[in-house]
Structure 1
Amino acid sequence: MKKVFLSAFAALVFFSCQNDQSENLDQDTNTIAQRGCASQDVLDAQLRANPALAIKMNEIEAFTQNQVLTNRLVNGKVEIPVIVNVLYRTTAQNISDAQIQSQIDVLNKDFNAANSDYNSVPALFSGVKANVGITFVLEKINRKSTTKTSWGTNDAMKKTAQGGIAPTSPTTKLNMWSCAIGGGILGYAQFPGGSSATDGVVIDSKYFGLSGSANAPFNLGRTGTHEVGHWMNLRHIWGDANCGSDLVADTPTHNTANYGVPAYPHYSTCSGTPVEMTMNYMDYTDDNGMYMFSNGQKSRMAAIFLSGGPRAAFGI
């Protein structure tokens, strides 16, 4: 497993110089052939628009690493109230209360090691698989009819002036938007440190919760798990660069993103040729191919809720 050492300068470079990831849309069927998460692309755009954000995120990273290294994390429970904002043009996009609740249920299972595939984690990683211990409670659903065919990734769905729904109390509630994103993107999230006016998670309505076999292989709610992981400060497991760092010590170094459901063991060509943790929620595999967080990722997520952390208002 890799070690993580990040100087202030290196952190600034990390946050401002990530590689863009291409997305894959089957133009013949208008269905997504491979997972596409725009969280890093959105962060890159925010950094270009506001260079001071890199400094703020560097401070968050320094705080996070300090909490992890000094073992000051509190093994407590965090309960996250969730607001779901549904923007719909068609009946199918106006997803049901039951489908919305199914996403909350998936989050509660995945973040509490209660998912049925948790025991499928290979023996190699059994010592680092984690029960994160964070729960989610659906507090309110807001709905709004729209004429937009797609919303893109410029946060328009979060802005009333652009036809969207503004977030509700984003410093103490997780806001999620369900809408037609377009462009081959399943979802994206805002990392800790960004503006509260755009804070939260966006998921395409076709991939929100248990969305049915028609939307396989992204129909098991794992897009939500992946994006909430970003909202809690987790990076893609390959670090958005060839053999990059996800800033977590107990995850193997990946060449790049993995797609589909790779056969185990899948070896990296990075230094040491480690077996890749393709079943980690922060890879790009299909929904039925991802089913674990690591202890290092758990510690990283816990740090943001501590006093002085970017999501301390949620509390531990």
Structure 2
Amino acid sequence: MKKLILSAFALTMLLSCSNEDSVAVEDGAVATAHRGCASHDVLERQLAEDPSLSQRMAAFDLQAEQFLTEGRIVNGVLEIPVVFNVLYKTGSENITDAQLQSQITVLNNDFNATNADYVSNNPFNSVRGGLKVKFTLDGVNRKATTKASWGTNDAMKKSSQGGINPTSPTTKLNYWVCTIGGGILGYAQFPGGSSATDGVVIDSKYTGTSGTASYPFNKGRTATHEVGHWMNLRHIWGDANCGNDQVADTPTHNAANSGVPAVGHRSTCSGQPLEMYMNYMDYTDDRGMYMFSKGQVSRMSAAFASSGPRSSFR
């Protein structure tokens, strides 16, 4: 188990969601079947554009540490309205309301720890946690486009660049559905960034559980992973060899896992701990991930506390 270690350097290493070196993808790129997202690359760009972001994120980490130490929780059920912004060039990219609703169902099951595919005899059963939250479908905006792929420069979030501006981003979770390209399944903006670009972006092929949802990422877990980032969770391996995800009850991982690891898979880090490869913040296939830990739930709760970076959602 890990102690919480806070450093400005660690902030610059946050959340590397891509299995590829280049993520600034433009039109015509072809996605490949591995879990790729671009949250870390987007964060690095935002840190370069806004030097004060690092200080704000460091302050959020300190608030989260205090929140965990004091044992406070968010009372009641937190309701999060979700606005889907669908950008499409082809008919298949213009996914149905039913497919979007299936994603809402997945988010509610995964975050509340009511998902039916949970394996109750896994070795981390005692630390499984659920957040008291209710995601609701607030609205769907659709826009035809001539772009084959959008890349990761937030163009899909700006009407001036052919995208869709966010709707009430301080009180609603904006979820852009579009083809990103380059093997990128999705990415999120972490607490502290500009409200003009706040939210998550997920490829249409990895949204929901019906329609165009594509194996092995056809159970809606890309959104679970990215919304976890949006709620201030880091990757379980801490974005470094044997890194720190700032959560005490997750074991140290030496790197991301892919596919569905064999039962008993262990880290090469000190003590060779059993890895929590079924955690939503790893890189396994959708069918291989099915839990958050209690520590992760507390960290997400802290983001919505009265002093937290997403307190406006309360």
SS at match of 2:127: coil
Equivalence map 1:79-228=2 (5 Å): 79-118=79-118, 120-212=119-211, 215-228=214-227
Cα shift at 1:51 = 1.4
Residues 89-124 of structure 1: CA deviation (Å, up to 9, x unaligned): 000000000000000011011111111112x04442
Rounded to whole Å, the distance in 1 between the matches of 2:220 and 2:143 is: 22
The AA in structure 1 aligned to 2:245 is D
Amino acid at match of 1:13: F
Q: Could you tell me which amino acid in structure 2 is paired with residue 155 of structure 1?
A: D
- Mapping of residues 281-300 of structure 1, within 5 Å: 281-300=280-299
Tell me, what secondary structure is at the counterpart of 1:60? helix
Q: Could you say if the C-alpha distance between residues 214 and 131 of structure 1 is closer, same or farther in structure 2, counting changes exceeding 3 Å?
A: closer
Distance in 1 of aligned mates of 2:312 and 2:213 = 39
Unaligned segments of structure 2, at least 5 residues: 23-28
Consecutive unaligned residues in structure 1, runs of 5 or more: none
Of the structure 1 ranges 90-99 and 65-74, higher mean CA displacement relative to structure 2 is found in 65-74
Kindly indicate whether residue 11 of structure 2 is the aligned counterpart of residue 15 of structure 1: yes
Deviation per CA, 1:16-74: give whole Å up to 9, x if none. 2459653399xxx9452210011111111111121111001011111111111111223
Contact 2:15 2:235 in 1 (8 A): no
Contact 1:279/1:289 (<8 A) preserved: yes
User: What RMSD, in angstroms, separates the aligned Cα atoms of the two structures?
Assistant: 1.8
Deviations 1:116-164 (A, max 9, x none): 112x044421110012221100010000000001000110000010000
Matched position secondary structure for 2:83: strand
Rounded to whole Å, the distance in 2 between the matches of 1:219 and 1:18 is 26
Q: Which residue of 2 aligns with 1:5?
A: 5
Q: In 2, Cα distance between the equivalents of 1:13 and 1:306?
A: 25
Determine if contact 2:304/2:313 at 8 Å carries over to the other structure.
Answer: yes
Question: Percent of aligned pairs with the same residue?
Answer: 63
Q: Is the 8 A contact 1:86 1:141 kept in 2?
A: yes
CA distance in structure 2 between the partners assigned to 1:161 and 1:213 by the alignment: 28
Query: Structure 1: which amino acid aligns with 2:285?
Result: D
TM-superposed CA distance for 1:288, in Å, is: 0.2
Is the Cα–Cα contact under 8 Å of residues 150 and 182 in structure 1 kept in the other structure?
yes
> d(CA) in 1 for partners of 2:150 and 2:313?
29
Q: Deviations over 1:182-223 (max 9, x none)?
A: 011000000001000000000001111114587100011000
Q: CA deviation at 1:272?
A: 1.4
Aligned to 2:67: 67
Aligned-partner residue type, residue 161 of structure 2:
Q
Amino acid at match of 1:94: N
With normalisation by structure 2, the TM-score equals 0.94
TM-score for the superposition, normalised by structure 1: 0.93
Say whether the 8 Å CA contact 1:160–1:166 is kept in structure 2: yes
Distance 1:83 1:308 in 2: 25
Task: From the superposition, tell whether residues 63 and 272 of structure 1 become closer, same or farther in structure 2 (CA, over 3 Å).
Answer: same
State the distance in 1 between where 2:267 and 2:32 align.
26
2:51 counterpart of 1:51: yes
Distance 1:161 1:68 in 2: 41
Q: 2:248 corresponds to which letter in structure 1?
A: A
AA partner of residue 109 (structure 1): N
Residue correspondences, number: 307
SS in 1 for 2:126: coil
For 2:54 and 2:106, locate their aligned partners in 1 and report how far apart those are by CA, in whole Å: 32
